[in-house]
């Protein structure tokens, strides 16, 4: 049995391995290339490739792949073996520098939102040397960006990397203004907390809806749900504990800092939190975590569900994206400082986030939008669809006193040179855990809580980085010109608080009163994906992405198309699955049950015409009503499905899916769930919610 330190990162070609295996010059050149963000020299690449290959073969790898993150939000890979024939009929194991730095997956079926019809049909992948290569299932995986031949990003990683550069550029300008010349790099750090369900594989395989759509389209409420909250942080059942142990080992091998695992609010729901790291690595790691969870679950005869809402009426699964900025000198820029100057700098960065979240509410909402996440947001278990910031009362009071130029604390009333108050150290621990806030300051980082469990974290962080970069740019533009820095800084902070405090809300986000209040404040409430996606094309948003060179107008249009297309596809699959389940399983099952009831009633009457048959007769009547209504609605759903094919505009199509297809599905579900509650268990074709949710011991 190896120790954790031996296991950790054992399947990763990290700096330690590189230092050990690469010639000194090559190692230095690679470091230099990464630091400057330049393209890697082919000769250097060849040496690295060879060393990587030897290392991988020693670890049992036979193949390599360029691992990338297409716009589907999951990861893609195509395996090539290292073998290469020799003239004498033998083989050698080869991996060239060219193969390391660039690949050409035949990837024409990945969504491109029209990009590849105007450019080359095939895209290419390019190594991102800032994330480590690793071995997964005997395959050496090279993390790559995926682009078209015209250079357009076809993936989620490229914009994320570009947004990290953008925020780095602007943050450095701000730091310079505060007299900090030693910092050469500012990185975004992210720690995503991942929720998931774990259910028995046997149960899963009996449910077409889970198999095809990831969520249950039918299911009556179980007698016991999560009302007792006895699962939350509760005792971890042996089967689950064995899974978690195995999962940790697998993640550690990949160098993923899996740290805490616990039960969540709903039965069978759990959470995994990693230790935070640089945003792009964190995005890679989160993808690997999701994939590994599903793989390890299978080994334990379990299935890991990452859908945002697998069970109606039971809490869904999200992902909390903890986000901050860190300098290469190790300073967290969202950590309130010890000195007044550090505090002023902290407040300026805080203000950049406040302004960014207010001005780009729509983009943040879009960055987490999907058909599956629509089930969660605003359902009083996840944050509402309205974006707002929670700061906690302490920090809120401080901002208010700055705005009004009053002294926050009589004891700390030194009005300092920079015009900013001393921040009391205690507020960090008093930020209460307001679970209803979509965007909460938690002491030294922001926690964006609207992400769905299955989402790639890249989109949310790309938006966050770019929007904050934009505000920092404006701040730097103003402050660099100022004659009196302290005065200008003070005015700037005040102005931001005054103009953007509407986005700050410290109350209960689940209350109806907040929805009304938010409307009065002019905040957006974009309830569904089709409502918010069109905002992507707003001029201010295109300007934002273009001016920071994160996405071009063409790339934004392609993303817009892909998002709407995925929304429609998801609903299309759900509707087809529902039709299939209803026609082939549910209607025949209740019909058979009715037959049994009718025959029983007839028999009872035959024995004695005086016999009461209330149970049988009433039930047959109700089942008949419900199944007839259901049959009619399924017909309507089918017509809607042919109707939607005639719509050519993607946004119109998405709205039709939501308003007509999904609305009809809700009716059908209501009939089915009532039928389930009255049908003999032996006739009902699927395991019940109770059986699924309480099956793992
Ligand atoms: P909890 O919320 O359970 O008390 P923490 O607040 O320590 O736990 O962290 C929650 C998540 O936030 C973890 O994944 C952690 O690594 C991450 N995190 C902590 N500090 C930062 C930071 N500076 N930047 C990004 N993520 C962070
Ligand atoms: Mg959290």
Predicted confidence (pLDDT) per residue in 162-221, tens digit: 999 999 999 999 999 999 999 999 999 999 999 999 999 999 999 999 999 999 999 998
Nearest one of 164, 159, 127 to 277, comparing CA atoms? 164
Domain 163-551 maps to which CATH number in 3.40.50.1370, 3.30.450.70, 3.30.590.10, 3.40.50.720? 3.30.590.10
pLDDT at 225 over 80: no
pLDDT tens for each residue of 633-656: 999 999 999 999 999 999 999 999
User: How would DSSP label each residue in 279-296?
Assistant: HHHHHHHHHHHHHHHHHH
Residue 186: φ, ψ to 5°: -120, 125
Alpha carbon distance 541, 557 (integer Å): 12
- Can you list the pairs that 578-583 forms with residues at least 24 positions away whose Cβ atoms lie under 8 Å? 578/209, 578/217, 578/218, 578/634, 578/637, 578/665, 578/668, 578/669, 579/634, 579/637, 579/638, 579/641, 580/208, 581/208, 581/209, 581/217, 581/218, 581/685, 582/630, 582/634, 582/668, 582/672, 583/634
The reply to whether ligand 1 has any atom less than 6 angstroms from the CB of 274 is yes
Alpha carbon distance 557, 186 (integer Å): 30
The reply to whether ligand 1 has any atom less than 6 angstroms from the CB of 9 is no
pLDDT tens for each residue of 262-295: 787 788 899 999 999 999 999 999 999 999 999 9
Q: How confident is the model at residue 410 (pLDDT cuts 50, 70, 90)?
A: very low
Q: Are 100 and 128 in contact (CB under 8 A)?
A: no
Alpha carbon distance 94, 103 (integer Å): 15
According to DSSP, the residues that pair with 188 across neighbouring strands are 325
CA 442 to ligand 2 center in whole angstroms: 9
CA 458 to ligand 2 center in whole angstroms: 18
Ligand 1 mutation target, pool 192, 276, 321, 441, most atoms within 8 A of CB: 276
The correct answer on CATH 1.20.120.1560 for the domain covering 566-693 is: yes
Three-state SS for 258?
strand
Which residue in this structure is represented by tokens 């499905």?
641
Nearest one of 440, 204, 433 to 306, comparing CA atoms? 204
Note the pLDDT of residue 429: 45
Which residue in this structure is represented by tokens 């209740």?
590
The reply to whether ligand 1 has any atom less than 6 angstroms from the CB of 280 is no
Note the pLDDT of residue 411: 43
4-155 against 163-551: fold identical? no
Note the pLDDT of residue 408: 59
Return the percentage of the chain with pLDDT > 70, whole number: 92
Alpha carbon distance 571, 185 (integer Å): 44
Nearest CA to ligand 1 atom 19: 276
Average the pLDDT over each of 167-176, 336-345, 503-512 and give the range with the smallest value: 336-345
pLDDT at 426 over 60: no
CA 305 to ligand 2 center in whole angstroms: 20
The reply to whether ligand 1 has any atom less than 6 angstroms from the CB of 190 is yes
Cβ contacts of 401 within 8 Å, gap of 6 or more: 407, 408, 421
Alpha carbon distance 446, 443 (integer Å): 8
Three-state SS for 213?
helix
Nearest CA to ligand 1 atom 2: 442
The reply to whether ligand 1 has any atom less than 6 angstroms from the CB of 255 is no
Note the pLDDT of residue 413: 40
Nearest one of 373, 648, 418 to 527, comparing CA atoms? 373
Tokens of 196: 């998931």
> Atom of ligand 1 at shortest distance to CA of 444?
23
Q: How confident is the model at residue 114 (pLDDT cuts 50, 70, 90)?
A: low
Nearest one of 344, 395, 322 to 174, comparing CA atoms? 344
Alpha carbon distance 662, 529 (integer Å): 13
Average model confidence (pLDDT) across the chain: 90
Tokens of 600: 């029983």
Span 395-418, average pLDDT: 64
The reply to whether ligand 1 has any atom less than 6 angstroms from the CB of 433 is no
The reply to whether ligand 1 has any atom less than 6 angstroms from the CB of 275 is yes
Which residue in this structure is represented by tokens 């907040």?
514
Work out the burial of residue 2: count CB atoms within 10 Å of its CB; fewer than 13 is exposed, 13-18 middle, 19 or more buried.
exposed
Note the pLDDT of residue 398: 84
Nearest one of 90, 97, 4, 93 to 56, comparing CA atoms? 93
Alpha carbon distance 323, 465 (integer Å): 10
Q: How confident is the model at residue 368 (pLDDT cuts 50, 70, 90)?
A: very high
List residues, by chain if needed, whose CB lies under 5 Å from ion ligand 2. 193, 320
CATH class of segment(s) 4-155: alpha beta
CA distances from 533 to 329, 356, 362, 377, 564 (A): 39, 19, 9, 15, 7
> Atom of ligand 1 at shortest distance to CA of 260?
3
Q: For 305-316, give one letter per residue: b (16+ CB within 10 A) or e.
A: bbbbbbbbbbbb
Q: H helices within 313-403, ranges in order?
A: 340-359, 361-367, 393-403
Ligand 1 mutation target, pool 251, 282, 322, most atoms within 8 A of CB: 322
Domains of the chain, residue spans: 4-155, 163-551, 566-693
Tokens of 355: 């302004």
Alpha carbon distance 595, 576 (integer Å): 28
Nearest CA to ligand 1 atom 23: 324
According to DSSP, the residues that pair with 684 across neighbouring strands are none
pLDDT tens for each residue of 240-267: 999 999 999 999 999 998 887 778 778 8
CA 189 to ligand 1 center in whole angstroms: 10
* Ligand nearest to the Cα of 260, by number: 1
Span 116-143, average pLDDT: 81
* Of 414 and 262, more confident: 262
CA 260 to ligand 2 center in whole angstroms: 12
* Ligand nearest to the Cα of 274, by number: 1
According to DSSP, the residues that pair with 63 across neighbouring strands are 81, 139
Cβ contacts of 178 within 8 Å, gap of 6 or more: 341, 344, 345
Please report the sign of the dihedral spanned by the C-alpha atoms of residue 409, residue 412, residue 418, residue 424: negative
pLDDT at 79 over 90: no
According to DSSP, the β-strands at 186-200 and 318-327 are antiparallel
> Atom of ligand 1 at shortest distance to CA of 192?
14
Q: Are 303 and 234 in contact (CB under 8 A)?
A: no
Span 352-359, average pLDDT: 98
């Amino acid at each position: 049995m190896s120790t954790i330190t031996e296991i950790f990162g054992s399947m990763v070609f990290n700096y330690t391995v590189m230092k050990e295996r690469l010639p000194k010059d090559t190692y230095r050149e690679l470091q230099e290339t990464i630091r400057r963000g330049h393209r890697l020299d082919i000769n250097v690449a060849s040496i690295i490739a060879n060393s990587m290959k030897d290392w991988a073969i020693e670890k049992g790898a036979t193949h390599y792949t360029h691992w990338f993150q297409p716009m589907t939000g999951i990861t893609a890979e195509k395996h090539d073996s290292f073998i290469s024939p020799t003239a004498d009929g033998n083989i050698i194991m080869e991996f060239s520098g060219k193969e390391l730095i660039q690949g050409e997956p035949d990837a024409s079926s990945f969504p491109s939102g029209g990009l590849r019809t105007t450019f080359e049909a095939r895209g290419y992948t390019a190594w991102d040397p800032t994330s480590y290569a690793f071995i997964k299932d005997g395959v050496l995986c090279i993390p790559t960006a995926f682009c078209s031949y015209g250079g357009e990003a076809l993936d989620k990683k490229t914009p994320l990397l570009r947004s990290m550069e953008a925020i780095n550029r602007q943050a450095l300008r701000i730091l310079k203004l505060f007299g900090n010349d030693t910092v050469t790099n500012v990185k975004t750090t992210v720690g995503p907390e991942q929720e998931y369900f774990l259910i028995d594989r046997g149960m899963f395989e009996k449910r077409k809806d889970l198999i095809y759509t990831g969520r249950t389209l039918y299911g009556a409420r179980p007698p016991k749900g999560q009302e007792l909250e006895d699962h939350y942080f509760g005792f971890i059942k042996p089967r689950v504990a064995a899974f978690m142990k195995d999962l940790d080992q697998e993640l550690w091998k990949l160098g993923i800092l899996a740290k805490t695992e616990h039960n969540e609010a709903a039965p069978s729901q759990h959470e995994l939190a990693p230790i935070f790291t640089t945003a792009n690595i964190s995005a890679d790691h989160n993808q690997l975590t999701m994939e590994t969870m599903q793989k390890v679950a299978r080994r334990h005869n379990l299935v890991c569900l990452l859908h945002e809402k697998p069970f109606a009426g039971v809490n869904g699964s999200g992902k909390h994206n903890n986000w901050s900025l860190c300098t290469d000198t190790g300073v967290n820029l969202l950590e309130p400082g010890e000195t007044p100057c550090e505090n002023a700098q902290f407040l300026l960065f805080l203000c950049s986030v406040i302004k960014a979240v207010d001005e780009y509410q729509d983009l943040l909402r879009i960055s987490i939008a999907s058909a599956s996440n629509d089930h969660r947001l605003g359902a009083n278990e996840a944050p509402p669809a309205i974006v707002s910031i929670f700061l906690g009362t302490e920090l809120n009071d401080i901002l208010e006193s700055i705005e009004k130029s009053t002294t926050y604390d009589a004891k700390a009333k030194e009005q300092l040179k920079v015009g900013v108050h001393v921040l009391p150290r205690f507020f960090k621990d008093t930020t209460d855990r307001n679970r209803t806030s979509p965007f909460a300051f938690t002491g030294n980082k922001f926690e964006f809580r609207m992400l769905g469990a299955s989402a790639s974290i890249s989109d949310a962080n790309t938006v966050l980085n770019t929007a904050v970069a934009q505000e920092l740019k404006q701040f730097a533009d103003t402050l660099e010109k100022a004659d009196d820095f302290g005065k200008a800084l003070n005015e700037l902070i005040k102005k931001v608080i005054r103009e953007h405090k509407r986005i700050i809300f410290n109350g209960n986000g689940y209350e109806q009163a907040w929805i009304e209040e938010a409307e009065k404040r002019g905040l957006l409430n974009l309830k569904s994906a089709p409502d918010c996606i069109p905002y992507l094309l707003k001029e201010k948003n295109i300007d934002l992405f273009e001016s920071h060179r994160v996405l071009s107008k063409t790339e934004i249009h392609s993303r817009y198309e892909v998002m709407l297309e995925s929304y429609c596809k998801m609903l299309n699959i759900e509707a087809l699955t529902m039709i299939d389940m209803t026609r082939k399983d549910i209607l025949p099952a209740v019909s058979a049950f009715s037959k049994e009831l009718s025959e029983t009633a007839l028999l009872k009457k035959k024995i004695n015409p005086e016999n009461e048959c209330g149970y049988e007769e009433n039930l047959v009547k109700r089942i008949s009503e419900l199944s007839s209504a259901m049959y009619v609605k399924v017909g309507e759903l089918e017509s809607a499905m042919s109707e939607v094919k005639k719509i050519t505009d993607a946004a119109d199509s998405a709205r039709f899916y939501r308003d007509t297809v999904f609305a009809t599905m809700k009716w059908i579900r209501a009939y089915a769930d009532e039928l389930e509650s009255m049908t003999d268990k032996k006739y009902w074709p699927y395991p019940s919610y109770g059986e699924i949710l309480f099956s793992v011991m």
